[in-house]
Amino acid sequence: MSKALKKKIKKKVVKKVVKRSNKTASKSKKVTKKLVKKVEKKANSKVISKSKVNDFVIRFANVNGTGSASANFLFTKAIFRMGVPITPKNIFPSNIQGLPTWYEVRVSEKGYLGRREGIDLMVAVNPQSMLNDVAAVRKGGYFLFDSSKPLHSQYHRADINYIGIPLMHMCNEAYTDARQRQLFKNIVYVGALIALLDIEFKEVEGLLADQFKGKEKLIPSNIKALQLGIDYVKANFKYPLDIRVERRDLVKDWIMMEGNAACGLGAVYAGATFAAWYPITPSTSVVEGFSEFAEEFRTDKVTGKKNVAIVQAEDELAAIGMVIGANWNGARSFTATSGPGLSLMNEFLGLAYFAEIPTVLVDVQRTGPSTGMPTRTQQSDILEGAYASHGDTKHVLLFPSTPKECFDLTADSFDLAEGLQTPVIIMTDLDLGMNDHMTPPLVWDDKREYKRGKVLDAAALEKIEKFGRYLDVDKDGITYRTIPGTHASKGSFFTRGTSRDEYAVYTEDSGSYQRNMDRLIRKWDTAKKMVPAPQVYHKKNVSENGILFFGTSQYAAEEAMDILKEQGKPVDAIRLKAFPFNKTVEDFINSHKRIFVIEQNRDAQMKSLLMIELQVNPAKLISVLNYNGLPITADNILMQIEKSLSSSKKLKKA
């Protein structure tokens, strides 16, 4: 390390690690170990830790379509079952077979579940990406490679450690089938990692037993492959490495789940009976998840008849149209899509807003614009979602940040959509949707009833002299609706996207039109009270600076908040869960001098939305942005905050 670089090392931070409370990962405050934080110049800032027990990042460089995913997950799950917090991320191509794909795992005793730069151990089994993979390893880190052929000199670095294991040779010797030879290469390196990182073998065994339940004869060949890796390491290397795993009890009763599956399950619990969708990465597994759970829970075991209907539509326009039709007709229904699909759904979302039809849409955001990077993450549909469609429209947005919240907020979204008779868009993203996340166990209150909103049944209609679909009886902007087929002679009305009067009769009268638009704003104000409140981290302000974030930025933002506190520069924090913003958000901003708005897009879309919708001074909103397609890191947040604070200091001095 050069002297210049050494100067850049900011300071030593002493921190203790953690019996993590089982509520949120970041609440871990007890300190037991030392951590030295260094910042290197190269490309991205890197965190190097001297004490590496349960604190490292390992990246697997694979070729997609080679069966690496299940081997890598086996590795992750084994550490999870050792009670150690872990967060895996898939970094994969928009391709089925043959291109580079990475699986990055962060092990964090402190329970930090955000991504971190600085690879401590690279498992490099893809020659295509090897040059970059070698370069990505931190100084002093490890590079595990297939040594069946000698490593070309271009991959040599003096400052990292090489662990060569002849994976191909070993598998060619041990297995005859070509597919097996390829598949078990992955299991052999998992075996090697068991020895190198001191992972408990019995956890891996247990996982295999779970995985191959009913197909037990497949277990021995997997054990054999694991053993090959273990034996090779034991015979050839000093083990375990200085980075390693030690059993803890930090995971408690948490589960590991993908956000998309949690959304699908939430829709099952909420009583959705219809889903229409068009396949698009990264949202596809939402409806697939719904479909799998519905197959299990909604199918009559005797007749095979289903209490659910799922239609794969011809495009996103049809998908949202079907969902609107089903909701209009009284069935809870939803669709899931990503950015390009959301663009296509605009016209229909405007109809649902104006004709006041409940609609639930899960938008799993990916990197835009246009086709963008379809397999990378971003939070860049905020404005698109908030104001989808022409004319004056606004839509309710929800921002889950964990799989548990994906489940909870999806279930809530149906109550909200029906309560408000309007579209509700659940704004998740690829990181949350398609990666496994540690999350608290899912909970359902059996006493909970579905809140179907203001729907008149036959008995209620009987008591009404004249039904007015758009009459604001309760003065909250929300009017009463009827479902087709309810009453023989009362309650029918004509639903339309054209202007109408209080009795749903077509009109071009200016007064009627404007009354209706004003009532929709009254409804919007009611929505502010109905949507989930933001999470405010401190009861009383501790700083003139605050950070504001939402969705998957939570992980890195909380980590950054901890580090700032340790550096003696605490900040207040608020996590948005919904749009429209309620008063708490406005008060939080107004009670601070500076608000760092952390978001994962280029154009500071959330900052724009705050500026448009709230009475706040825009000058105090400072953007912290990440838009490279990878999940935001705490380092990145800290760097941007520090840069901003130091430049404002300089300004003061000048």
Partner 1 sequence: MSYVRPTFRHPELPKNKLGYTIDYYEGSLSTLCAGCGHDSISAAIIQGCYEMNIEPHRLAKLSGIGCSSKTPAYFLSNSHGFNSVHGRMPSVATGANMANRDLIYFGVSGDGDTASIGMGQFVHVIRRNLNMVYVVMNNGCYGLTKGQDSATADEGSKNKTGHVNLFESIDLASLAIELGATFVAQSFSGDKAQLVPLVKAAMKHPGFAFINVISPCVTFNNNVGSTKSYDYVREHIEATATMDFVPQMQEISVDYGKGSHKHVKMHDGSIIELHKLSEDWDPLDRQSAMNAVLNAKAKNEILTGLLYVDPDSHDLHHLLQTNDKPLNSLGKADLCPGSEALKEINAGLR
Q: How far is the CB of 469 from partner 1 (least distance, A)?
A: 10
Nearer to partner 1, 155 or 493 (CB): 493
Q: Is 341:410 a contact under the CB 8 Å cutoff?
A: no
Helix (H, G, I), strand (E, B) or coil at 148: coil
Pairing type for strands 359-367 and 423-429 reads parallel
Instruction: Tell me: does residue 333 bind partner 1 (CB under 8 A).
Output: yes
**Residue whose entry in the numeric block shows the structure tokens 């300071």:** 11
Handedness of CA 206, 207, 211, 217 (dihedral sign): negative
Cα separation, 527 vs 472, whole angstroms: 15
Q: Identify residue 376 by its one-letter amino acid code.
A: R
Residue selected from 74, 163, 183, 276 as contacting partner 1 according to rule CB under 8 A: 276
Nearer to partner 1, 114 or 491 (CB): 491
Q: Identify residue 581 by its one-letter amino acid code.
A: F
Q: How far is the CB of 349 from partner 1 (least distance, A)?
A: 10
Residues 482-521 as x/- pattern, contact with partner 1 by CB under 8 A: xxxxxxxx--xxxxxxx------xx---------------
Nearer to partner 1, 186 or 273 (CB): 273
CA dihedral 115, 119, 122, 128 (to 10 degrees): 80
Nearer to partner 1, 228 or 257 (CB): 257
Among the candidate windows 170-178, 192-200, 261-269, 280-288, which touches partner 1 by CB under 8 A?
261-269
Cα separation, 321 vs 120, whole angstroms: 49
Radius of gyration of the chain (CA): 27
Cα separation, 195 vs 630, whole angstroms: 30
Residue selected from 82, 86, 192, 256 as contacting partner 1 according to rule CB under 8 A: 256
Residue selected from 65, 127, 164, 325 as contacting partner 1 according to rule CB under 8 A: 325
Q: Give Cα 395 distance to the centre of its chain.
A: 21
Nearer to partner 1, 219 or 455 (CB): 455
- DSSP for 291-337, please give it: HHHHHHHSB-TTT--BS-EEEE-SSHHHHHHHHHHHHHTT--EEEEE
Q: Is 270:247 a contact under the CB 8 Å cutoff?
A: no
Helix (H, G, I), strand (E, B) or coil at 367: strand
Residue selected from 197, 318, 342, 530 as contacting partner 1 according to rule CB under 8 A: 318
Q: Is 237:192 a contact under the CB 8 Å cutoff?
A: no
Instruction: Tell me: does residue 441 bind partner 1 (CB under 8 A).
Output: yes
Residue selected from 11, 70, 450, 517 as contacting partner 1 according to rule CB under 8 A: 450
Q: How far is the CB of 356 from partner 1 (least distance, A)?
A: 12
Handedness of CA 364, 370, 373, 375 (dihedral sign): positive
Residue selected from 39, 151, 219, 331 as contacting partner 1 according to rule CB under 8 A: 331
Helix (H, G, I), strand (E, B) or coil at 410: helix
Instruction: Tell me: does residue 23 bind partner 1 (CB under 8 A).
Output: no
> Residue 3 — left, alpha, or beta (φ > 0 → left; ψ -120 to 50 → alpha)?
alpha
Nearer to partner 1, 149 or 306 (CB): 306
Nearer to partner 1, 461 or 557 (CB): 461
# residues near partner 1 by CB under 8 A: 73
Q: How far is the CB of 419 from partner 1 (least distance, A)?
A: 16
List, in sequence order, the alpha helices (H) in 198-258.
201-211, 219-236
Residue selected from 449, 463, 511, 651 as contacting partner 1 according to rule CB under 8 A: 449
Q: How far is the CB of 485 from partner 1 (least distance, A)?
A: 5
Q: How far is the CB of 503 from partner 1 (least distance, A)?
A: 12
Q: Which residues in 75-104 contact partner 1 (CB under 8 A)?
A: 80-81
The C-alpha angle with vertex 625 and arms to 622 and 627, in degrees rounded to 5, equals: 160
Nearer to partner 1, 309 or 536 (CB): 309
Q: Is 139:1 a contact under the CB 8 Å cutoff?
A: yes
Residue selected from 28, 284, 327, 410 as contacting partner 1 according to rule CB under 8 A: 327
Nearer to partner 1, 35 or 310 (CB): 310
Residue selected from 7, 217, 238, 305 as contacting partner 1 according to rule CB under 8 A: 305
- Short-list 204, 195, 29, CA closest to 558: 29
Instruction: Tell me: does residue 255 bind partner 1 (CB under 8 A).
Output: yes
Nearer to partner 1, 230 or 323 (CB): 323
Instruction: Tell me: does residue 611 bind partner 1 (CB under 8 A).
Output: no
Q: How far is the CB of 49 from partner 1 (least distance, A)?
A: 28
Cα separation, 81 vs 466, whole angstroms: 63
Q: Which residues in 340-379 contact partner 1 (CB under 8 A)?
A: 347-348, 351
Q: Which residues in 557-586 contact partner 1 (CB under 8 A)?
A: none
Among the candidate windows 26-34, 127-135, 293-301, 374-382, which touches partner 1 by CB under 8 A?
293-301
Q: How far is the CB of 132 from partner 1 (least distance, A)?
A: 33
Among the candidate windows 63-71, 252-260, 363-371, 628-636, which touches partner 1 by CB under 8 A?
252-260
Give Cα separations from 561 to 176, 538, 593, 610 (angstroms): 53, 12, 17, 21
